[in-house]
């Protein structure tokens, strides 16, 4: 069974304090790993897709990396507007399989 575990569950940072969120996964052949951001009262918003180990993607203060067992979302010099829940999802490489989501990391950035 495909599984995604995200850690920590919650993270509180001071503005400018860089950190990383972790996403560990087990999947029977990885088609892709996806990062989403979810603000309170909103639906998730797509951030990145990673397909193979060693791949990196960047967007503003966010950088996502991928290994064979986990992915990291690095947040450099975060701002209060980066506060959100960050969700990781994987998709297996077998037919039309749905995304399997982790429970997310709730990030709070304090000014």
Partner 1 sequence: KAGVTQTPRYLIKTRGQQVTLSCSPISGHRSVSWYQQTPGQGLQFLFEYFSETQRNKGNFPGRFSGRQFSNSRSEMNVSTLELGDSALYLCASSSQGTNTGELFFGEGSRLTVL
> DSSP 3-state assignment of 28?
coil
* Minimum distance, C-beta of residue 101 to partner 1, in the bound complex (Å): 4
* Minimum distance, C-beta of residue 61 to partner 1, in the bound complex (Å): 21
For residues 15 and 78, the answer to whether their CB atoms sit within 8 Å is yes
* Minimum distance, C-beta of residue 63 to partner 1, in the bound complex (Å): 18
Residues 108 and 83: their CA atoms lie apart, in Å, by 5
81 phi/psi in degrees, rounded to 5: -70, -10
For residues 30 and 81, the answer to whether their CB atoms sit within 8 Å is no
Residue number with CB closer to partner 1 (20 or 93): 93
Residues that bind partner 1 (CB under 8 A): 31-32, 34, 41-46, 49, 87, 89, 91, 96-104
The CA-based angle 12-84-86, given to 5 degrees, is 95
* Minimum distance, C-beta of residue 111 to partner 1, in the bound complex (Å): 27
Residue number with CB closer to partner 1 (49 or 83): 49
Residue number with CB closer to partner 1 (15 or 46): 46
Bridge partners for 108 per DSSP = 12
Residue number with CB closer to partner 1 (78 or 102): 102
């Amino acid at each position: 069974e495909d599984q995604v575990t995200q850690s920590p569950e919650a993270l509180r940072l001071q503005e400018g304090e860089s950190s990383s969120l972790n996403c560990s996964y087990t999947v029977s052949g990885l088609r892709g790993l996806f990062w989403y951001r979810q603000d309170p009262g909103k639906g998730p918003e797509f951030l990145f897709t990673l397909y193979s180990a060693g791949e990196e993607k960047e967007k503003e203060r966010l950088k996502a990396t991928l290994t064979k067992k986990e992915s990291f979302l690095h947040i450099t010099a975060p701002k209060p507007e980066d506060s959100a829940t960050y969700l990781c999802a994987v998709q297996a490489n077998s037919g039309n399989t749905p995304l399997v989501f982790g429970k997310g990391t709730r990030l709070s950035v304090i000014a």
